[in-house]
Copies of this chain bind each other. A is one copy, B any other.
Amino acid sequence: MTPVTDEPLRIAMLAPVTWPLPPEGYGPWEKCVWTLTEELVARGHKVTLFAAAGSRSSAELVSTVPHPFECWPRAEGQATARLDPASGLLVGPPDLRAWEQLHIATCMEAVRFGTFDVVHSHLHVHALVFSRLIPCPMVSSLHGAAWVKALHPIFDRYRDQPYVALSEAEKQLKPDLHYVATVHNGVRLEDFPLSTEKEDYLLFAGRMSPEKGPAEAIQIARLAGRPLRLAGMIEPQHEEYFNARVRAHLDDKWVTYLGCLSQRELAEQYRRAAAVLFPIHWCEPCSWVGIEAQASGTPIIGTRLGYLPELVRDGETGFLVDTIEQAARAVDRLDEIDPRACRANVEARFSAQTMAEGYEAVFRRLAGRTAEPAPRELAGQPA
């Protein structure tokens, strides 16, 4: 950790509340917020973290919602709405939308009546709607949210607010926003130690959704004649896809599904894998999978899409491909890759420290500015 050379910054960190901080398994946005917060505190900044109860942090923690949404007590979360004769009220599941709004408002009220240099929001449009009502600048990390076209009209109204893209590629999802920096996600290097001893299997890690390409990973492994392990969560909307395109191929020998692993278990898989397959179909802004695998000294074979050309040095830390056949042929060239080059790549550009330095520079540039309204935007008509 590097001591701050300038005055410490007073940062209001607005986390998502879907998972606790740090997340146990899945939770890429929360992982970014937690890692960044720990690093900023270590560097001497005064960070106030607004997050769900059950989170832990070295920063001052303000718990805004009683449970992370994915950890809400099951009985309460799955209750069916019904008229309760005793109270006369409609009882049912929690209103998570309203809770999230309260979460954001709690941060905005603290910012309004406290003294902060900057708000760092990880809740995109849902926080942006507050951005002109507070006396200090709000910078938003996109986390891929601009992928959802339905949100573009809202982004348009807050186009002039400062944004951080997680990769150069991410900017293409909505090129006309006011980007003040690109800051890659960065891992805690100690959590993903380098290993130069690799086994034979290929690994796919990530949500089991079509745009992530687990089905294509199976095709690649088949063509290359290697065993494949798959790890990652199955979202309800993708169960049908998983059953048809993944589960149908599981045989516990050539193709194995490991379930949704903890960070420690996944680190172990990265460490021993011959390569991580990342045959994505969308503009992946900056997944942790590629970075964590590279930190472990493991090459990536992935689509020339999203942040991969920014992460993978083709032929040196992995291979960028355009087709399944190219990916399979790349498997035969894995002995060209030096695990130490993968590790060095992450140490130089994708560490918690480089991430914190990137955001620190953004915060310093913005600190002290007020959130000026753009008068032409105030007439009320959407652009």
A residues near B (Cβ < 8 Å) are 50, 62-66, 83-84, 87-95, 97-99, 101-102, 104-106, 108-110, 112-113, 125-126, 129-130, 132-134, 147-151, 153-154, 157, 172-173, 210-211, 281-283, 373, 375, 377-382
Q: Looking across the interface, which residue of chain B has its beta carbon closest to that of A132?
A: B109
Min CB–CB distance A111 → chain B (angstroms): 9
**CB distance A147 to B89 under 8 Å?**
yes
Can you list the 10 inter-chain pairs with the closest CB atoms, starting with the nearest?
A62-B380, A105-B129, A133-B133, A95-B150, A89-B149, A101-B129, A98-B154, A91-B149, A106-B380, A98-B125
Chain B residues, CB < 8 A from A95: 125, 148, 150-151, 154
Q: Looking across the interface, which residue of chain B has its beta carbon closest to that of A373?
A: B113
**CB distance B154 to A102 under 8 Å?**
yes
Q: Looking across the interface, which residue of chain B has its beta carbon closest to that of A65?
A: B382
**CB distance A150 to B382 under 8 Å?**
no
Q: Looking across the interface, which residue of chain B has its beta carbon closest to that of A114?
A: B378
CA distance A109 to B95 in the complex (A): 26
**CB distance B98 to A151 under 8 Å?**
yes
Given contacts A63-B380, A88-B282, A173-B89, contact A129 B150 (CB under 8 A): no
Given contacts A102-B157, A154-B102, contact A173 B112 (CB under 8 A): no
CA distance A64 to B382 in the complex (A): 7
Chain B residues, CB < 8 A from A173: 88-89
Q: Looking across the interface, which residue of chain B has its beta carbon closest to that of A76?
A: B150
Q: Which of B98, B129, B373, B381 touches A63 (beta carbons < 8 Å)? A: B381
- Chain A to chain B contacts (Cβ below 8 Å), 23 pairs: A50-B380, A62-B381, A64-B380, A66-B382, A84-B149, A88-B172, A88-B173, A88-B283, A92-B149, A95-B125, A98-B125, A98-B150, A98-B154, A101-B101, A104-B129, A105-B133, A106-B380, A108-B133, A109-B373, A113-B375, A113-B378, A130-B130, A130-B133
